Amino acid sequence: MKSHFFLFLTAVVIITGCNAGLPGKSSPEITNETIKTLPLIVAPADTAPTSVIRSKEVMEINRLIDLLNSDDWHIREDATRDLYVIYEGIGRESLDIVNAEVQRAVLPEVKLRLETIREALKQSFDNMLKNPSFESEFTDWKYVENWNGSKIQLIKAEKGSAPDGNFFIEMWHDPARGVKPGSSSWSACGQYIREIVKPEVTYFVSFWYCTTDPYGFRIATSDEALVMHSGGVISVSEPVADGKWHKVTGMFSRTEEQLFYEPYLTLYYDYSAPGTVWFDAVTMVQRAFADKTAGEKK
């Protein structure tokens, strides 16, 4: 019997994961919550795998597999996309499930479409960013600091206390400078993506954050100096400032011209943010099948 669940459409969600604490603090409990954010376009919720098997969901997968051999091409296409969305929601373990379905498939059309889904899933689980959890310090990343007292540093986590790996980064802003109009702190840390991102293709990004201060931050495509960016991918204007790790997810697409002028994917701790935020596990993946709401403005 197989386990899975649906991928619901929403703007940005927070996902639970491993317990993660900050330096000098005990590891807090991570909880499921939803926060108000401002993604570029509506993004599907990123969900964690579950081992709970619900019969109605198994029935839905079986129903969709049957439709893969429909006489109507449009029905076959919709069923392929819907199956992909369900399997992608399960996580990497879904590859074993799809492999089993491929082996059981008898009809050529069904087998071919399941193989297509399997290859698409492999692509969607492959993080395109290098050193995404800062395990090799700032290798493959560049950053801006010392802007009115701002600082960026690598933090070594207590065993099992980071969302992924043993390190995360800290962005700190001097409150004495940050509260003064016109002299607020500002930080940025980005990775070059122009050679791996294709124009007009939708990419999904996510990152984990932790803060105890109610100040905003974002991830956006930016120029090489990590200063200018035309549009945010995820903007967290009202973070959950509870000292726990939270995950946010969004998606973006850029034109060839935008990628030329904004070749970096960059984390920003915003102006007028006199506090501290921690980041970890930044991901960027390409999903082969667009969701029905892809491209809609929020």
Strand 217-222 and strand 232-236: the pairing is: antiparallel
What is the block-wise mean pLDDT of the chain (298 residues), using blocks of 10 residues? 35 36 40 29 32 63 93 94 84 85 94 91 86 96 85 89 92 74 76 94 92 93 90 87 93 91 94 89 81 38
Residue 183: the pLDDT is: 53
Can you list the domains of the chain with their CATH numbers?
1-42+129-298 (2.60.120.260), 55-124 (no CATH)
pLDDT at 7: 32
pTM for this prediction: 0.67
pLDDT at 49: 35
Q: Sign (positive/negative) of CA torsion 268, 279, 47, 115? A: positive
The predicted structure's pLDDT at residue 43: 29
- What is the pLDDT, as a whole number, of residue 55? 63
